[in-house]
Amino acid sequence: MSGSDLILQRMMTLHPKVIDLTLDRMHRLLAALGHPERNLPPVIHIAGTNGKGSTQAMIRAGLEASGKSVHAYTSPHLARFHERIRLAGELISEPALTALLDECVTANGPDAITFFEITTAAALLAFSRTPADYVLLEVGLGGRLDATNVVDPILSIITPVSIDHQQYLGETLAEIAGEKAGIVKRRVPVVIGPQQPDALDVIEAAAARLGAPVIAHGQHWHAWEERGRMVFQDETGLLDLPLPNLPGPHQIQNAGAAIAALRHLGTGDPESAITRAEWPARMQRLRRGPLVDAAPQSELWLDGGHNPAGGEAIAATLARMPQRPTHLICGMLNTKDIGGYLRPLAGIATGLTAVSIPGESATLPAEDTRDAALAVRIAATTAPTVADALAAIVAQEPQARVLICGSLYLAGAILRENG
């Protein structure tokens, strides 16, 4: 176990709750660290339910293609914590991460603080000490009380908002949108991705109260697919572009938000933004590793989507692929709306094999996932592991398309185990 792993493990014990939304502890720790949040390169702050990571990855690709140096913060990580902090284009090194975490633990002292709060403080400290042209800062949960909401950005972005994390953000779409809109700052422009009317009303009202200029999908910018190309149009003109390299029709709108952001900033290469972006576990084709070796004739895919909107996006993506028997290997957390996630997939999946997520105490038992699949009329069974599930599927259909799905935590386990 590395030095940073040991410190991160200790950080998990600094607060009795995994999630406790407030900014008080962040302000206290940042003051003890000398307020690194006040000494950052220009910040682009990104919130939303779906598409935050893809949009961030596209903006980064576009900026870096034009020679800009970019810090990026995202969560959760998939295989290693270091993925969360990218300094001027490179993942943070083990020695740098260990030193930062140590410094934050010392500054925090005996006071309670959540894992996400203290690691966010470490990221901000790293960003304040390394020169760059921009910081891309992804919200962890919600927005208003998220640990990242301590910055003064030059641009805010809100990707599509949908129902998720109701226990923290509210039961209705309007309530959840209100939490996401908490990142909007006075007179700071906000790019708004496609939204349902209730969410858009709330976000636009928040922007109006704060005098924040709105750059909204459907009003100020549009993005669509036409004849195998992506078309983007805003008030300054039209762009004819290749389709995004990240698969799925939903990536058209994520790409649109990224391009709208770049056009507002007046820098970055839109074509590179959508053709060079990399974002693992979002309809990622696995091409090497033990699982691929075990199913050489199959197509093996991985996706970490875990809410009803994620299920709809996956279903739309699969529907556009060449026809092939499609089997799901699914594991989810017990806090998610599994019925809402699986329902859009009912007409597409040939079958589902349910697994429990290894090493996760909050995993939904495989039997419960199986029952939820049966309830929406997907033929389903269980397996003790993903490898066992895959073996059973390819024994029946060697050339099947297999999608491992349902959770970023499951996706992370697969990426670690599959090299």
Domain boundary among 275, 292, 327: 275
Please tell me whether residues 296 and 266 are part of one structural domain: no
- Structure token digits, residue 239: 């762009």
pLDDT given at position 1: 65
Please tell me whether residues 94 and 193 are part of one structural domain: yes
Please tell me whether residues 295 and 256 are part of one structural domain: no
Domain boundary among 220, 241, 275: 275
pLDDT given at position 17: 82
Global pTM value: 0.91
Please tell me whether residues 251 and 355 are part of one structural domain: no
Please tell me whether residues 245 and 101 are part of one structural domain: yes
Please tell me whether residues 159 and 46 are part of one structural domain: yes
Residue pair 184/190 in contact by the 8 Å Cβ criterion: yes
Domain count, the chain: 2
d(CA 79, CA 419): 10
pLDDT given at position 163: 81
Mean pLDDT by runs of 10 across the 419 residues of the chain is 84 84 95 98 96 96 98 93 96 96 96 95 98 98 96 98 84 95 98 97 98 98 97 96 94 97 97 95 92 94 91 93 95 93 95 95 95 97 97 96 95 87
CATH code of residue 38 = 3.40.1190.10
Task: Show the domain range for 8.
Answer: 3-275
d(CA 224, CA 222): 7
Please tell me whether residues 340 and 392 are part of one structural domain: yes
pLDDT given at position 165: 78
Question: Whose CA is closest to 376, among 344, 333, 329, 335?
Answer: 344
Please tell me whether residues 291 and 263 are part of one structural domain: no
Please tell me whether residues 270 and 326 are part of one structural domain: no
Please tell me whether residues 251 and 383 are part of one structural domain: no
Neighbour order of strands in the sheet with 326-330: 284-286, 299-302, 401-405, 326-330, 351-354, 380-382
C-beta neighbour count of 39 within 10 angstroms: 12
Please tell me whether residues 95 and 137 are part of one structural domain: yes
Please tell me whether residues 184 and 248 are part of one structural domain: yes
Domain boundary among 257, 275, 293: 275
